[in-house]
Amino acid sequence: MPNTLRLMAVHAHPDDESSKGAATLARYVTEGVEVLVVTCTGGERGDILNPHLADADRLLADLGAERRREMAAAQKILGVEHAWLGFVDSGMPDSGPLPPGCFAALPVPEAAGPLVALMRAFRPHVVTTYDETGGYPHPDHLMSHRVSVHAFETAADPDRYPAAGPPWQPLKLYYSRTLSRARASALRYATRVAGRPPVSIWSEGAEQPDRPEFTTRVACADWFDVRDAALKAHATQIDPEGFWFSVPNDVQRQAWPTEDYELARTLVPTPPAEDDLFAGLRSPVADHHVHEHDRRVSQQNS
């Protein structure tokens, strides 16, 4: 296989990396994969969502700085690399017109430029992001989808973004499906069968409309505790007694031990049902393909 497999996960705000696919990231870090989390905005226009947090007024006065500290703590827990794209949070969908200069107000080619540069520098084989609905209709989630697709499709073109570094082509692009209705329903049923109190789970799964069947289910139950610790590190955004933790992990491990994805683009042959984001990149034939891909890119850049 390539000397080191590389995975890039593109998210809108600090905390999204921990609520959408964090156990997958922690698993791959354990396996020796290089993992880079990219956060598009600073989350400055968020709010304090943890009712148990002391000194909330002081933290809210400079929420961007606090969220940077939280992201650093979550990064350490997950063991990933991290990069900020540096864009300004666009605010919630119901907060009125987009503020001038915010992430979602920018033209997609302009907003994608820093991500193209990161792709060319980090050289991921696999990229994950949100689908075209954003998972839910926050302007920054929708924009994260657009810039991720644009960067995936242009990072290898030497005529696009010529100042952004030597071209690089990621081989697979996935959409996160962690907050699916199917998973929410399964966890709710399993909780009832286990005799636990009824639970509330991310608005009955309404954050992510029904999609085609998952293409890829990554077994990562052994890292659910790591995921939860990273999520709790985002203390301004996460209530430690809230719905994210309403289903005990022992129940989750039995009922739904995977995090799930939709394969959106691939440049390598893959099986119809995957259990690995790097499916198609680990076999001897795929190893040769990826080595040749890396060699050609190196020759083009020399």
Which residue pairs from 194-199 have beta carbons closer than 8 angstroms and sit at least 24 positions apart in sequence? 194/251, 196/247, 196/248, 196/251, 199/243, 199/246, 199/247
- At position 179, the amino acid (one-letter code) is L
Token pair listed for 172: 């697979």
Binding residue per annotation — 13? yes
Smallest CA-to-CA distance from 277 within 11, 17, 14, 23 is with 23
Smallest CA-to-CA distance from 172 within 148, 191, 194 is with 148
Binding residue per annotation — 141? yes
Pairwise CA distance, residues 187 & 181, whole Å? 10
Binding residue per annotation — 47? no
Whole-angstrom CA distances from 167 to 124, 154, 244, 278 are: 12, 9, 39, 21
Binding-site entries for Zn(2+): 13, 16, 141
Binding-site entries: 13, 16, 141
